[in-house]
């Protein structure tokens, strides 16, 4: 990992404090909030004074006097009561940036390949179309898998399909009513079941809502669905074969929607894959006296240290014997730890499932899983409509993800036309632009807020080419590309970075902040830190470009250096956006 300027300075000052018999830690330096006073500042002398080091001003002067020879500092000043303000050397800065820019990850990758991170996100349910509730998990989860990989972790993502609950029994019963003669329902059948699915996704999408509606009012139908679910879980061959078709047909449609979003998974496993591990987990829970029988059901009471019940129990088996959402989650975690050897498991799942994960994790802790693995509910808030309630269609129905993407595309086309972008491009390119702008709109609007916050879905605002939006960033990228193209036309190419002038200073510092933005993103599992950095970087480029007319620069070495700075900025924006799952455009 390449070091940041803050790090280099903190080492230098730390040593100087230590040479004065003060703690090395006082040497910590940070960016100066007022650039006219310095690039960086060290406030350690004040902290040292509080711990009895005497007058902070005197201490700061002593520290400065004992600084080792170095090539970092150009100017240094001690101001009352004891601030140390530092300006860094131009040559050091240019060298630092050159080294940073040569590294594919801007010096942020570490050797973490021995740490395996499993990211559970997406979580779509078989036979139900994805809706707006599946948007955030897809966007945040995908961004996190990209970021953790980039940082150097071994990452495995899993869609963890909802394919084992009562909705499966409802589908089976629903189909039985419509086509009772299918082989799958014949209990005496012993041959091979057909390879061809008896249903399409449209069939499933019609059957599911009808059956689920029915089961809400009709106790007999509900009982039948529960029974069918249980038989499926217990391995009835016809049901298993049918269920396989349901899953395969659903996956094909899910892949289409995720494909549009540019979201991929390493594993397309589901709740059902935990099935072989359920007996093992139940046995261990029983042997360790963690599970108890309660009115025919099998549960795990969730208590605090005093044994007080703090929330409802985790239900492992209902009285009819069927396993639940929590059971499959415990068994999946068991599989991830024992089979996959995961060190960290992140569950990028809606914050409204917090209680569920508390129950699951409390049970896992009781089993001692916390000794070998870290598991976290990396939750997120709700997407609300302008009325502050969960986002719905105009008619009040559930907003399908596919329709939402189309809406974003329509808005993108409208905004592009209004701004006169790409009017003379051919249709295929226009379509590509509308698609990428739409996806950037949805993704950036989602990722720019700290994930645990709710946000209001305001497509018009998100699609603006001004402000903290995806389209703004895509436009800035296209703009830098256009500058570099124009330069090429007049024979100017990026060259060696020269000592940075005042106009380039702020942009250079901003570029070098990538590392800390990325580290915070990883640490908090929160891509909004990266969003914030990229937005600020794009703005910093704008003000640099306003002050510095690159193409008019007469000195060719200077011009080559300015172009190099621009291309580093472009590269960082593109790399950063890719980490958010946002594809950029050549022009617009």
CA distances from 239 to 179, 186, 245 (A): 14, 10, 10
What residues form DSSP beta bridges with 75?
87
Ramachandran category for residue 127: left, alpha or beta (phi over 0 → left; psi -120 to 50 → alpha): left
Binding site for ligand ARG (CB under 6 A): 120, 123, 125, 160, 162, 329, 347, 349
What CA dihedral angle connects 292, 297, 302 and 305, to 10 degrees? -20
Q: Between residues 144 and 349, which has the closer beta carbon with respect to ligand ARG?
A: 349
The CB-of-5 to ligand ARG minimum distance in angstroms stands at 41
The CB-of-398 to ligand ARG minimum distance in angstroms stands at 12
Q: Between residues 165 and 313, which has the closer beta carbon with respect to ligand ARG?
A: 165
The single residue listed with the structure tokens 């261990």 is 284
Q: Between residues 123 and 494, which has the closer beta carbon with respect to ligand ARG?
A: 123
The CB-of-500 to ligand ARG minimum distance in angstroms stands at 48
Would you say 364 and 330 are in contact if contact means Cβ atoms under 8 Å apart? yes
Three-class DSSP category at 31 = strand
The CB-of-188 to ligand ARG minimum distance in angstroms stands at 35
Q: Between residues 82 and 162, which has the closer beta carbon with respect to ligand ARG?
A: 162
The single residue listed with the structure tokens 């901003």 is 510
CB atoms within 10 A of CB 194: 12
Q: Between residues 329 and 504, which has the closer beta carbon with respect to ligand ARG?
A: 329
H or E element, residue 409: helix 401-418
Q: Between residues 380 and 514, which has the closer beta carbon with respect to ligand ARG?
A: 380
DSSP string, 239-254: HHHHHHHHHHHHHHHH
Query: What is the distance of C-alpha 46 from the center of its chain?
Result: 39
CA distances from 583 to 402, 441, 531, 586 (A): 19, 11, 14, 10
Q: Between residues 4 and 272, which has the closer beta carbon with respect to ligand ARG?
A: 272
Q: Between residues 128 and 533, which has the closer beta carbon with respect to ligand ARG?
A: 128
Q: Between residues 211 and 540, which has the closer beta carbon with respect to ligand ARG?
A: 211
Would you say 392 and 398 are in contact if contact means Cβ atoms under 8 Å apart? yes
The CB-of-310 to ligand ARG minimum distance in angstroms stands at 21
- Which residue sits closest to ligand ARG, CB atoms considered? 123
The CB-of-44 to ligand ARG minimum distance in angstroms stands at 46
The CB-of-226 to ligand ARG minimum distance in angstroms stands at 19
DSSP string, 321-362: S-B-HHHHHHHHHHHHHHTS--SEEEE--BGGGHHHHHHHHH
Task: List the structure tokens of 336.
Answer: 């991830």
Q: Between residues 375 and 444, which has the closer beta carbon with respect to ligand ARG?
A: 375
What CA dihedral angle connects 385, 387, 393 and 394, to 10 degrees? -140
Question: For residues 297 and 304, what is the distance between their CA atoms, to the nearest angstrom?
Answer: 22
Q: Between residues 138 and 230, which has the closer beta carbon with respect to ligand ARG?
A: 138
The CB-of-441 to ligand ARG minimum distance in angstroms stands at 24
Q: Between residues 144 and 568, which has the closer beta carbon with respect to ligand ARG?
A: 144
Largest CA distance in the chain: 93
The CB-of-446 to ligand ARG minimum distance in angstroms stands at 17
Count Cα neighbours of 406 within 13 Å in the Cβ-side half-sphere. Answer: 6
The single residue listed with the structure tokens 């899983």 is 369
The CB-of-229 to ligand ARG minimum distance in angstroms stands at 15
Query: Whose CA is closest to 296, among 321, 324, 326, 325?
Result: 321
CA distances from 562 to 150, 473, 489, 494, 526 (A): 28, 21, 16, 7, 33
The CB-of-162 to ligand ARG minimum distance in angstroms stands at 3
Three-class DSSP category at 30 = strand
Q: Between residues 232 and 349, which has the closer beta carbon with respect to ligand ARG?
A: 349
The CB-of-272 to ligand ARG minimum distance in angstroms stands at 12
CA distances from 92 to 84, 99, 567 (A): 19, 11, 20
The CB-of-214 to ligand ARG minimum distance in angstroms stands at 21
């Amino acid at each position: 990992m390449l070091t940041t300027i803050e790090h280099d300075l903190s080492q230098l000052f730390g040593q100087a404090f230590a040479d004065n018999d003060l703690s090395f830690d006082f040497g910590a330096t940070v960016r100066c909030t007022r650039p006219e006073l310095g690039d960086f500042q060290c406030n350690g002398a004040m902290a040292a004074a509080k711990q009895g080091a005497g007058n902070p001003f005197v201490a700061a002067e002593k520290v400065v006097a004992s600084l080792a020879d170095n090539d970092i500092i150009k100017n240094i000043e001690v101001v009352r009561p004891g601030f140390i303000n530092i300006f860094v050397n131009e040559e050091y800065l240019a060298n630092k940036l050159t080294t940073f820019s040569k590294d594919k990850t801007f010096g942020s990758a570490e050797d973490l390949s021995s740490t395996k991170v499993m990211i559970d996100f997406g979580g779509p349910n078989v036979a139900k179309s994805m809706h707006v509730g599946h948007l955030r998990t897809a966007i945040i989860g995908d961004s996190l898998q990209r970021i953790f990989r980039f940082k150097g972790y071994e990452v495995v993502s899993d869609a963890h399909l909802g394919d084992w609950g009562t909705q499966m029994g409802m589908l089976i019963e629903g189909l039985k009513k419509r086509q009772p003669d299918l082989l799958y329902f014949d209990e005496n059948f012993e041959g091979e079941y057909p390879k061809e699915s008896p249903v399409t996704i449209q069939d499933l999408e019609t059957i599911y809502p009808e059956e689920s509606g029915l089961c809400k009012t009709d106790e007999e139908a509900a009982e039948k669905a529960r029974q069918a679910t249980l038989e499926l879980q217990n391995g009835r061959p016809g049901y298993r074969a049918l269920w396989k078709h349901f899953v395969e047909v659903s996956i094909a449609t899910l892949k289409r929607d995720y494909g549009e979003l540019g979201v991929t998974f390493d594993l397309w496993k589901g709740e059902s894959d935990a099935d072989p591990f359920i007996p093992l987990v139940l046995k261990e829970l029983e042997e360790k006296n963690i599970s108890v029988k309660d009115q025919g059901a099998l549960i795990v009471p969730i208590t605090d240290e005093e044994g007080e019940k703090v929330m409802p129990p985790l239900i492992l088996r209902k009285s009819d014997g069927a396993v639940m959402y929590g059971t499959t989650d415990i068994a999946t975690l068991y599989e991830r730890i024992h089979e996959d050897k995961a060190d960290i498991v992140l569950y990028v799942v809606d914050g409204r499932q917090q209680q569920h994960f508390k129950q699951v994790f409390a049970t896992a802790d009781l089993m001692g899983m916390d000794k070998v693995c870290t598991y976290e509910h990396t939750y997120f808030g709700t997407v609300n409509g302008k009325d502050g309630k969960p986002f719905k269609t105009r008619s009040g129905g559930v907003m399908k993800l596919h329709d939402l993407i189309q809406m974003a595309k329509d808005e993108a086309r409208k905004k592009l036309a209004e701004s006169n972008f790409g009017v003379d491009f051919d249709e295929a390119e226009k379509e590509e632009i509308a698609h990428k702008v739409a996806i950037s709109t949805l993704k950036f609007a989602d990722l720019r807020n700290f994930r645990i916050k709710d946000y209001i879905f305001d497509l018009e605002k998100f699609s603006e080419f001004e402000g903290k939006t995806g389209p703004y960033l895509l436009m800035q990228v296209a703009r830098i590309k256009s500058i570099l193209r124009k330069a090429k036309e007049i024979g100017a190419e990026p060259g060696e970075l020269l000592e940075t002038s005042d106009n380039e200073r702020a942009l250079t510092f901003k570029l070098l902040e990538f590392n800390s933005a990325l580290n915070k993103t990883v640490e908090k599992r929160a891509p909004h830190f990266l969003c914030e950095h990229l937005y600020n970087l794009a703005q910093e480029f704008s003000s640099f470009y306003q002050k510095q007319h690159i193409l008019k620069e007469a000195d060719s070495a200077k011009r080559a250096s300015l172009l190099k700075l621009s291309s580093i900025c472009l590269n960082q924006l593109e790399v950063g956006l890719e980490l958010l799952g946002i594809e950029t455009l050549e022009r617009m």
